[in-house]
Chain A
């Protein structure tokens, strides 16, 4: 009887409860991207993909392309405004500012274009300054008109930073004022940060901000050129009071290669060439 009862019990017993979980549940897989998405959704109340794309595009346009030179970025409210034209004019170290901006943009993975009217860019120096040359388009026009046309083309292609360097006076050719307006509109339409570097102001009222680069003075030590100091003055800004100025020191590649000061009488420069100071 007891055996029958045990058999019946074994046949009709209830299922055992599930085995208790010893490990805590794994956290949901979450990436940085989805964090960014959550932040966007939280702040803007996004519900559709189209709204997300629009919000991302808006956010991107509100950003700037920093030059990574602290003093200049402070002067320009963070850097070169996307979708706007910034002009830097004068006899100061304009090319050094342009190279810094190119290095900053390309090092973050963005494509940048340098319209080099004076055909003055040095790839070796660009690489030393931190430019990712693979992400930089170097355009060498012969006239200012070609330079403006080329800038318009590259902006329409989607380059995030476009720098037009007009070189030294006398400028090669002229363009109508309307060309700068068209260029600024193209930059606005494509969200491109456009920097126009000219020996004297050219873009008129079209630019968002205008920096005046005062003539540079060399810094010499031990008979060697160690750097150049230039003063940049904010002459115009649509969202800021003008008049502020900063002094920026750009170091000669050889001085940076040495890494310490005072310089020795003899040292090896960045390209491995041995130099001797005898000034």
Chain B
């Protein structure tokens, strides 16, 4: 038998706003819709409701009751992301979920008996999970979408309607619970039919002849019959978080403060789904009009908010948007974090997720090309090097002893090479003078000619020497054929 759970967020516009601005939870705040004289309250916090603010009041009326009332407009970006977050939580309870919009989601929970002791425990687990993402929640579980929705809207939660008891569950409830948006329900109330049970007891044909097709549907619903199937939604390819700001931001720090909270929510959502972010795209809404869209590819999939925020900061510092920001949307392109089987007896392996985060943090701190795997490059110039993505292979299962070292002399390469003045004596170098390098030469050997890239406009043509100074220091230096200048490009034995 199909069992459907309904996840319901009461006063959704308010809940979505408080998810982005949790500090307003204990303030007298109302969400308003419309502009100017048409602005009216659609939801209010508990503190505001206690002072007499209720849905339907115009903003002027509300302000006359409570002058210090904080009014916020409906934020479509906040509501969209809150709805996505709700659906992601629902996906943790069932692979088949339906997006019913505005704080409502259905999940097919048939077959989950083995995961939870009973359906009430499932409902409680769902409430805990939804509250963890910053939304208040109620749940209802029944055999049909209609019954589960009505059950979820009841204040006592979770409500479980046993199979076959939909009609008896609905019967004592007021008719408005069934379909409050339908005018037919209001008409029936005028007929004196107040409860759902009263409607269910009436003959179906009589209702249909008076109210038409809507009446028939309403009668079906009153008897607990809901033939509408659950329409599963497709998985979104990305995660979004955004916000419309009350005032334009001109400085970077306040923006990053708000962005940090949004990225934190994004990270939690991705963690819930077992994803990490491999690319972050963000769009800034500018004042008075226009958008600034950017994208940052992360060096490795990560959920580390600090890393992502640092990369965003660097990007904005490098290229400021040029106008005040009045809204933003972050879109995280997800990827599976890297996994590895660690060995008990072999050398300790690195956790791929930790490594990815560290690499991303290092690059955000040092810049591109400053952290990674050193790579050899074909050629003859000693300073050649490259840096690639660091992704070490798994370590061997058992530890093996290291081979004996070759005792190789390492040269400390100077990047860039240091220009020096050289005094020559016939075919040898007599003395060298440059930045932090000065002295007469004790031994020198050379030259060795290197030529590379003869097919280019500026080929590298150098004559190399090894020199040891009397005051200490063994250097590798060269004379460039192009500029005729001398350069020290490495030091040995230091």
Interface residues of A (CB under 8 A from B): 32-33, 36, 52-53, 56, 60, 66-70, 91-96, 98-100, 103-105, 107-111, 118-130, 133-142, 146, 149-150, 153-154, 156-160, 167-169, 191, 215-218, 220, 223-225, 227-228, 230, 248-253, 256, 271, 273, 275-279
Contact = CB atoms under 8 A, between A and B. Distances in A.
18 contacts: A33-B397, A93-B410, A96-B409, A100-B408, A104-B402, A109-B395, A118-B412, A121-B413, A123-B374, A123-B376, A140-B387, A150-B366, A157-B350, A167-B412, A224-B466, A228-B493, A250-B409, A275-B448
A126 B413 CA distance: 12
A94 B493 CA distance: 7
> Which 5 A-B pairs have CB atoms at the shortest separation, nearest pair first?
A279-B445, A216-B493, A228-B493, A68-B405, A109-B395
Contact of B403 (A56, A107, A156, A215): A107
B418 to A, nearest CB: 11
Nearest to A104: B402
A251 B406 contact: yes
Given A108-B399, A230-B493, A69 B345 contact: no
Judged by DSSP, the binding face of A is mixed
A120 B476 CA distance: 13
A33 B398 contact: yes
A224 B409 CA distance: 14
B284 to A, nearest CB: 29
B370 A137 contact: no
B371 interface: yes
Nearest to A222: B445
B296 interface: no
Interface in B379-407: 380, 382-387, 390-393, 395-407
A110 B415 contact: no
Contacts of B472: 91, 215-216
B445 A250 contact: no
Contacts of A215: 472
Contacts of A129: 405-406, 408, 410
B189 to A, nearest CB: 65
A246 to B, nearest CB: 12
B450 interface: yes
Which of A67, A139, A150 has the most chain B CB within a 10 Å cutoff? A139
Contacts of A158: 348-351, 354-355
B35 interface: no
B354 A157 contact: yes
A66 B413 contact: no
A250 B393 contact: no
A108 B347 contact: yes
B494 A93 contact: yes
Interface string B27-42: 0000000000000000
Given A33-B398, A67-B405, A105-B402, A95 B412 contact: yes
B444 interface: yes
A96 B409 CA distance: 6
Judged by DSSP, the binding face of B is loop
B446 interface: yes
B405 A69 contact: yes
A96 B374 contact: no
B445 A220 contact: yes
A251 B371 CA distance: 29
Given A256-B406, A277-B445, A134 B412 contact: no
Given A125-B408, A141-B366, A225 B399 contact: no
Given A138-B373, A256-B406, A216 B347 contact: no
A187 to B, nearest CB: 14
Contact of A124 (B350, B376, B392): B376
Interface in B294-323: none
Contact of B366 (A126, A139, A160): A139
A32 to B, nearest CB: 6
A33 B393 CA distance: 21
Given A109-B395, A121-B385, 13 more contacts: A33-B345, A99-B408, A100-B408, A103-B405, A110-B347, A120-B490, A140-B371, A218-B474, A224-B466, A250-B409, A252-B409, A271-B380, A273-B448
Contacts of B400: 108-109
B365 interface: yes
A22 B441 CA distance: 83
B458 to A, nearest CB: 20
B436 interface: yes
Nearest to B492: A228
A151 to B, nearest CB: 11
